[in-house]
A and B are shown apart, each in its own frame.
Chain A
Amino acid sequence: MIRHTREGRNLEVLINLFNGRLYRNPGRFVINTKAADLFRGSLMEQQKKYADITLLLEGTYPFVRGGVSGWVHQIIEGLPQYTFALIFLGSKKKDYDAQKYVLPDNVVHLECHYLWDHFSLSKPKACKGNNEYILASGKLHDWFRNPCSGFKEAVLKELLVSLGQPSGFTAEEFFYSEAAWQQICECYDKYNAHNSFIDYIWAIKAMHTPLFKLASVAHQFAPATGTFHAVSTGFAGFLGLLLHYITGRPLILTEHGIYTKERKIDLQSIFIREHRDLLGDVLHMGMQYQELLWIRFFESLGQLIYKASNPIISLYETNRERQITDGADRVRTQVIPNGMPIDRFLDLRAQRPEKIPLVIGLIGRIVPIKDIKTFIRSMHTIVTHLPEAEGWLIGPEDEDKAYVQECKTLVQELGLEEKVRFLGFQKISDMLPRLGLLVLTSISEAFPLVILEAYASGLPVVATDVGACREIIEGSSDEDRALGCAGIVIPMADPEATANAVITLLTDEDRWYSAQKAGIQRVERYYTQSRMLDSYKTIYDRALTQ
């Protein structure tokens, strides 16, 4: 009569982790949803397929809109000389509607797998379990705990290739065998002996379930592939890792954010929420251990994937450094920033009024992570110095209604009703020429495309020192820095500094124009779509000839 509520909770944690990722960043891309079914039908007819590149996509393209999805679409569309196969990994099938993008013609294959949908196992039946495999994997786990020591890649390869296979270690062996049970008990005794055992064992089971699922996906993957390209570490990266070892084809990794770091933040917020419910519960020490387990799980996945991937690409320097600290080999790392199709913005540049408009724009969703309140507070200071100035908040308000209300109340409290306008969702090309400055007060960003869009339309930027913002504003290489600053970098959550930066730029015309010039030059030199596509073309060509 053991009730498996733990299983449910672990699953929920996972789904939360997953969905937290999926539903952030609703994108700004035009969507067209037909053709998907037609497309699938025609695929069925082909027998043995070949794709130059198989993209491994976790919770993004083509079912979810967003920055990463837009980037994937850009790559596929911009490199028509290659054929692409797509493997989409989702949480549960019901979480996704129709495809959000029309797949370009050079996509020859799409398959979808849902990690938290029911995993079909044979009925529980006692078995012995492959002890050798467990021993070897135990050593691998020791390496996860202490990554400083070395681990033989041949052993790793052997372990991964036979994962889920009768010759190695099947899912049934993991879930039912006595050997697995012994191993779990031993590890528990060694590392976690005082905490809730049922939470521990369900966490372990929940963690490994997707790995077995991915192993079966990898072994069933039919199309021949020139190179695999994972668009994150995590589960997509793990699938790439398995495919890489199974087929011997190279694995390329592009990380937009830092997966491990994002998972940590998600986990913390989930467990903080849980702890609030469990206040006073003596078991919460166990939960803390579980939290650590999960974090190490994702870290370990990351390490394995870094070990196998070449090159390891990030969007900007800070993330590259982070990857190196997390275990990526420096030689393999590389920065390829996002690129913009600049041409669309030339018109906008022409539309700019003669005089610099005293309009300070913040383009983004009205949510706490964008720290809209700091923007509003800074407007208070700005209007005392520049009475004609206005602040525009441009972005959808439907995600966090309570926060929007708080912001509107703050505006009233500061008497800024005339000065701060909530414009809701707008077409960016209509807005950019009417702004005098773009301000980003976010407390977290990765690589905000909006800054590039602002540059391309001839607009300087004031942004907090998060993500790639400093690199984009001040330049990353020496050569880049020589172009000058395209705006001002400000500290986080500092209305005074924000106001000062805005006032400085809006009152000093020379500085404003030199920032505009730097921005245009920078985006045209470093952040064009063609530059990005060229970089990937080089990487793909190298991988395909390996």
Chain B
Amino acid sequence: MSRGLFTLTSGMLTQQRKIEISSNNMANINTAGYKREQAVTNNFGTLLINKLRQNGIYETAEPLSEVSLIRIMEDNNTYHSQGNLDETGGSFDFALVGEGFFGINNNGTILYGRNGSFNLDDEGYLIFADKGRVQGEYGDIFIGTDKYEAAEDGSIYVDGEQIDKIAVYNFDNYANLDKFSEGLYTSTDEANLMEDAVIKKGWIERSNVDLAQEMSDIIASQRALQSNSQALKMYDMIMEIESNQIGRIN
């Protein structure tokens, strides 16, 4: 089988995966705290093509050129830039301005995320969906009411008295964050508590998806996939001639 067939197939698979990543970005345009992802393609390395030459009883190899090996996209990067801030007026909505993550205690493990759309559970603690309680500097945050104030550094005041402060964590290296689900990450690295975090109550940070970029990426990928498939059809025609026409007598 021609090497070219597999190279083209890998090209199509790569473009398909790129489109899958872009479509997830598009579907999450309005999701709170969502960070867009971008595909990373890289060459796997090259293979030397040699020309074998009969030299008496010896066979020598004469290097001809290089051919790139099969390459399929294997990695994607998350871009942690600030998303747009949207004023919702929600009683338990928080938005982070600048770097940092909220900490959610999910049965002992801390999950990190920027989605600040919280609620109170039945016992009055601040929670995120069904994932766990939001961590403050003294553990779980008990508010108990929806009439409270929050300062820009995350301190929570009920009846004028400070009860806790929302903890904001940061990492030295974002590359070790693993996606968990629903906008949350887990990390094996140690998280540092941020001193100068800015939190706005009643606001939500929307995604940082750039629509124009995603649309043009999708169009480029789709056309690349179509060109690959056209070249694939030509290979198919060549192989048909090889298998059916060559050596035919009549």
A binds B: no
Chain A positions near chain B (C-beta within 8 angstroms): none
Residues on B facing A (Cβ under 8 Å): none
